[in-house]
């Protein structure tokens, strides 16, 4: 006799209320273990929730647009290959929150958050599809679903463009007064954050409107989700961080010989120049701790750990998985980890955990070409290293020109945190380390 099991949302890196952007199965579908069930989209990445076991989908508890968090029940699967003879309700078979709860109650408890959150999904504004335009049923009326504010306060908030759902009411029971709305606006003005949750109040002229089709054939392709997300992040970072890029060259002739030797000795791992750069960067971060930092208001947060983000190009766009504790790992271990995580990135299997906690990022175009570029800092980090293609160049060694393999490095830094001299020192320490790997042992 098979058993109904609930599939819950796994650890999604502490994100809450992550929207479901795709439901990949339907009731009645037979699913294999690890088959994708639903796709979630956090502000960092999209991720699939895989089936923890094989079976038949019996019930879908989520729908498109629902916002769910870790532990929410996504669906119910009738597990195949279960030999449990018990006919007790499904809930008891799964790790219910409390054994003592009667099944019905605990089921309700688990289901509720999903339901409540889905209710609050706003009707898309400016997209008139329904008649009447406003819902008059309980969903639009129950105190749990609506801001606690009188009609006059609602009108007032609309006038100021304030989303009442974001306003904390100061009156009894959290009731929102006119003064609360005013206070909210004042606070938003002071902190420079627009009420729409946008950004920086850049007073930009409108984007140029061009009818491209007028000038020849065109095709319109929607941006991938990753492109849209990373695009928004890049735009914010570029607009808000005063970037300066320090260019330098590292002599990696010796390093490359060593790398080739390593590669020959360890055919099972692909040892790329990138792992050397990661080690060198960690050494530089240790020497110049301001580079391993984040700006938080008037404070600089210094990090005592060394997690390095690596920009990886995927068919859908740019992602930045993070390799943790680079300082504690050897070159081969890093090479292995890098191979695994790059493959994961290309297969879209990266979870938010894989992309969190970075201290400093490296973006390498060395495999492709170029002599230098301006990488955009991955906020809230304060610097990023861009790597271009190495070339054999004649280098004056004091008495003659010798052919050396030179690697162009471009270090973009947040000028609010780092000044030019420090950046020059950091870059030159980096080039020295790469030129003479023994430096890394010091």
Partner 1 sequence: MSSIELKVPDIGGSTKVPVIEILVKVGDEIKKDQGLITLESDKATMEVPASAAGTVKELRVKLGDEMSEGDVIAILESGEATVEKPAAAVVENKTPAPVVAVSATPVGLAKDNSDITCQIVVLGAGPGGYTAAFRAADLGMDVVLVERYAQLGGVCLNVGCIPSKALLHAAEVIEEAKHAADYGVSFSEAKIDLAKLRTHKEKVVGTLVSGLTGMAKQRKVRTVTGIGKFISPNQLEIETATGKQILGFKQCIIAAGSQPVKLPGFPWEDPRVMDSTDALMLHDIPKSLLVIGGGIIGLEMATVYRSLGSEVTVVELAEQLMPGADKDLVKPLADRLKKASVAIHLKTRAAKVEAKKDGIHVGFEGAAPEKTIYDRVLVAVGRAPNGGKLNAQLAGVSVTERGFIPVDRQMRTNVPHIFAIGDLVGNPMLAHKSTHEGKLAAEVASGEKREWVARVIPSVAYTDPEIAWVGVTETEAKEKNLQIGVGKFPWAASGRAIGIGRTEGFTKLIFDEATHRIIGGGIVGVNAGDLISEVVLAIEMGCEAGDIGHSIHPHPTLGESIGMAAEVYEGTITDLYIPKKK
Residues that bind partner 1 (CB under 8 A): 123, 125-134, 136-144, 146, 148-151, 154-155, 158-161, 173, 175, 205, 208-211, 214
Does the annotation count 415 as an active-site position?
Answer: yes
Of 385, 383, 392, 440, residue with least CA distance to 409: 385
For 343, the token pair is: 């493959």
Supply angle C-alpha 56, 62, 67, rounded to 5. Answer: 145
Find tokens 């956090």 and name the residue. 42
φ, ψ (nearest 5 deg) of residue 234: -65, -40
CA distance 53 to 346: 24
Which structure tokens are listed for 87? 């006919």
The residue whose two tokens read 């990138």 is 274
- Give the number of other CB atoms < 10 A from CB of residue 410: 22
Q: Are the C-beta atoms of 361 and 387 separated by less than 8 Å?
A: no
**Measured from the CB atom, is 162 or 310 closer to partner 1?**
162
Write the DSSP symbol of residue 131: S
In whole angstroms, the minimum distance from the beta carbon of 56 to partner 1 comes to 27
CB of 133 to partner 1, least distance (A): 5
* Closer CB to partner 1, 43 or 108, in the complex: 108
CB closer to partner 1 out of 207 and 396? 207
Scan for tokens 């998985």, then name that residue: 321
> Considering 243, 266, 307, 415, which one is annotated as catalytic?
415
Are 72 and 52 a contacting pair, CB within 8 Å? Answer: no
In the complex, minimum distance from the CB of residue 40 to partner 1, in angstroms, rounded to a whole number: 26
Nearer to partner 1, 109 or 286 (CB): 109
The least distance separating partner 1 from the CB of residue 58, rounded to whole angstroms, comes to 21
| 149/312 with CB nearer partner 1 | 149
Which residues have C-beta within 8 Å of that of residue 339, sequence separation ≥ 6? 269, 270
Pick the closest to residue 387 from 308, 331, 307 (CA basis): 308
Strands 383-387 and 360-364: parallel
Give the span between the Cα atoms of 371 and 389, in whole angstroms. Answer: 6
Work out how close the CB of 205 gets to partner 1 at its nearest, in angstroms, rounded to a whole number. 7
Task: Kindly tell me which of 144 and 442 has the beta carbon lying closer to partner 1.
Answer: 144
Question: Judged by CB, which is closer to partner 1: 141, or 194?
Answer: 141
Query: Looking at beta carbons only, is 149 or 241 nearer to partner 1?
Result: 149
Report the candidate in 237, 251, 295, 200 with the shortest Cα–Cα distance to residue 412.
237
- The SS3 assignment for 37 reads strand
**Residue 364: Cβ-neighbour burial (10 angstroms; 0-12, 13-18, 19+):** buried
Are 30 and 55 a contacting pair, CB within 8 Å? Answer: yes
Nearest to 32, CA basis, from 8, 47, 53: 53
Tokens of 307: 């997690």
Which active-site residues does the annotation give?
A: 415
């Amino acid at each position: 006799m098979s058993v109904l099991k609930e599939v819950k949302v796994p650890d999604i890196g502490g994100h809450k209320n992550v929207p479901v952007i795709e439901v990949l199965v339907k009731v009645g579908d037979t699913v294999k273990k690890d088959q994708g069930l639903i796709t979630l989209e956090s502000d960092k990445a999209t991720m699939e929730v895989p089936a923890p076991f094989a079976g038949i989908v019996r019930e879908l508890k989520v729908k498109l647009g629902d916002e769910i968090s870790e532990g929410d029940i996504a669906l119910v699967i009738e597990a195949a290959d279960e030999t449990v003879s018990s006919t007790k309700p499904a809930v008891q078979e799964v790790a219910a929150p409390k054994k003592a709860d009667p099944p019905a109650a605990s089921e309700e408890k688990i289901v509720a958050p999903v339901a409540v959150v889905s209710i609050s999904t706003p009707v898309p504004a400016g997209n008139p599809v329904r008649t009447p335009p406003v819902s008059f049923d309980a969903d639009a009326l129950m105190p749990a679903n609506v801001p606690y504010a009188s009609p006059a306060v609602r009108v007032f908030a609309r006038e100021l463009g304030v989303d009442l759902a974001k306003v904390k009411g100061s009156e009894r029971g959290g009731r929102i007064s006119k003064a609360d709305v005013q206070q909210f606006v004042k606070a938003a003005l002071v902190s420079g954050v627009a009420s729409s949750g946008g950004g920086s109040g850049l007073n930009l002229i409108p984007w140029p409107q061009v009818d491209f089709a007028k000038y020849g054939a065109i095709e319109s392709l929607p941006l991938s989700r990753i492109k849209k997300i990373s695009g928004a992040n890049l735009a914010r970072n570029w607009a808000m961080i005063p970037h300066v890029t320090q260019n330098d060259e590292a002599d990696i002739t010796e390093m490359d010989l060593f790398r080739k030797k390593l590669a020959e000795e360890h055919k099972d791992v692909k040892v790329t120049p990138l792992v050397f750069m990661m080690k060198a960067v960690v050494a530089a971060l240790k020497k110049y701790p301001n580079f391993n930092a984040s700006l938080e208001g008037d404070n600089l947060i210094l990090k005592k750990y060394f997690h390095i983000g690596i920009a990886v190009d995927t068919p859908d766009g740019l992602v930045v998985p993070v390799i943790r504790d680079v300082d504690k790992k050897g070159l081969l271990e890093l090479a292995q980890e890098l191979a695994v995580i790059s493959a994961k990135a290309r297969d879209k299997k990266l979870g938010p955990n894989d992309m969190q906690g970075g201290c400093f990022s490296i973006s390498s175009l060395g495999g492709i070409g170029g002599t230098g570029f301006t990488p955009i800092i991955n906020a809230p980090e304060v610097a990023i290293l861009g790597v271009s293609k190495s070339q054999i160049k004649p280098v004056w060694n004091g008495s003659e020109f010798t052919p050396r393999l030179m690697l162009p490095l471009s270090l973009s830094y947040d000028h609010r945190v780092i000044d030019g001299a420090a950046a020059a020192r950091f870059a030159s320490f980096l080039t020295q380390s790469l030129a003479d790997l023994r430096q890394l042992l010091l």
